[in-house]
């Protein structure tokens, strides 16, 4: 199973610390076999989003079998959409998950670690909306 | 005809995030449906968030039920992870 390429995850947040911390948490829970790339904050380290950072993360996360992108809030979604509609030569099978950031990242990474395809990983992220924690 | 299988294990430690992740990753590799029951709560073992949502803690009994062609292997694997992973915590 470990030799089979896995769906990659991209976490897009206004905050670099939030993106990196969420990646660390999801990676630990899922056992560390999935590539999670982050695009947090602006180019100069402020709170915000960067289309170049998202594109870079997308290429890092691509293992050839698809990438699921999780944006945190508001303009993260707009930045991801702008990239997907404008950029040329992006990896195949890139999808954006409409999901809570932390829960979605954990559920998506676990499903990717189990060998799920893009559809399964996207579904796991989006089902996280309905998960109760109490 | 799908076979079904069931076993219970008493947790040696709390079911933290990492063991929940290990369970879900392992469960998702089986064809069978796999369900965990703790008291009155049930969770699909393939959903890490549902497994964490059980809030299962040390000393509680977890029942694993699987149905499908690889149900026996699935239950054995889940019981093994529950017994081992809850020892070290997460």
Summarize the confidence of residues A5-15 as an average pLDDT. Answer: 98
What is the predicted ipTM? 0.89
A134 pLDDT tier (thresholds 50, 70, 90) = confident
The pLDDT, as a whole number, for residue A2 is 53
A56 in catalytic set = no
What distance in Å separates residue A15's CA from the closest CA in chain B? 24
Residue B53 to residue A132, Cβ atoms within 8 A: yes
Does the model's pTM come out above 0.90? Answer: yes
Selecting from B21, B29, B49 the residue whose C-beta is nearest the C-beta of A30 gives B21
**Cβ pair B25:A114 closer than 8 A:** yes
Instruction: Read off the pLDDT of each residue in B18-31 and give the average, rounded to a whole number.
Output: 96
Q: Which domains occur in chain B, in start order?
A: 3-88 (3.30.1340.10)
Instruction: Judge whether A18 and A129 are in contact, CB under 8 Å.
Output: no
Is the separation of the CB atoms in B62 and B83 below 8 Å? no
Note the pLDDT of residue B86.
76
Cβ <8 Å between B47 and A131: yes
Q: What pLDDT digit, counting tens, does each position of A69-104 carry?
A: 999 999 999 999 999 999 889 999 999 999 999 999
* Residues of chain A with C-beta less than 8 angstroms from the C-beta of B25: 30-31, 110, 113-114
Report pLDDT digits (tens) over A23-77. Answer: 999 999 999 999 999 999 999 999 999 999 999 999 999 999 999 999 999 999 9
Separation of alpha carbons A43 and B58, rounded Å: 46
Residues B80, B8 contacting (CB under 8 angstroms):
no
- Superfamily holding A8-127: Phosphotransferase system, mannose-type IIA component (3.40.50.510)
Asked if A106 has any chain B CB less than 8 Å from its own CB, the reply is yes
The beta-strand segments (E) located in A27-129 are 36-40, 67-71, 94-96
Q: In A, which residues are within 8 Å of B77 by CB distance?
A: none
In this predicted structure, what is the pLDDT of residue B2? 67
- Chain A contact for B28, CB < 8 A? yes
B28 and A114: CB-CB below 8 Å?
yes
Q: Tell me how crowded residue A73 is: count the other CB atoms within 10 A of its CB.
A: 11
B71 pLDDT above the threshold of 90: yes
What integer pLDDT is reported at residue A55 of this predicted model?
97
């Amino acid at each position: 199973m470990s030799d089979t390429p896995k769906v990659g995850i991209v976490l897009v947040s206004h905050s670099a610390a939030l993106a990196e911390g969420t990646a660390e948490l999801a990676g630990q829970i899922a056992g560390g076999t999935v590539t999670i790339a982050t695009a947090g904050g602006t180019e100069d380290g402020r709170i915000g989003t960067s289309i170049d950072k998202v594109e870079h993360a997308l290429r890092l996360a691509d293992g050839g079998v698809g990438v699921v992108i999780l944006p945190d809030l508001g303009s993260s979604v707009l930045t991801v959409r702008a990239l997907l509609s404008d950029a040329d030569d992006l990896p195949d099978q890139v999808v954006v998950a409409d999901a809570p950031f932390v829960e979605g990242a954990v559920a998506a990474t676990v499903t990717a670690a189990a060998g799920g395809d893009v559809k399964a990983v996207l579904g796991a992220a989006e089902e996280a909306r309905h998960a109760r924690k109490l | 005809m799908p076979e079904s299988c069931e076993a219970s294990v008493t947790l040696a430690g709390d079911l933290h995030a990492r063991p929940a992740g290990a369970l879900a990753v392992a469960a998702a590799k089986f064809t069978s449906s796999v369900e965990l029951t703790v008291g009155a709560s049930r969770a699909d073992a393939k959903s890490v968030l549902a497994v964490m949502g059980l809030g299962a803690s040390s000393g509680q009994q977890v029942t694993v039920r699987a149905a499908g062609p690889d149900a026996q292997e699935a239950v054995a694997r889940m019981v093994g992870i529950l017994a081992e992973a809850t020892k070290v915590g997460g």
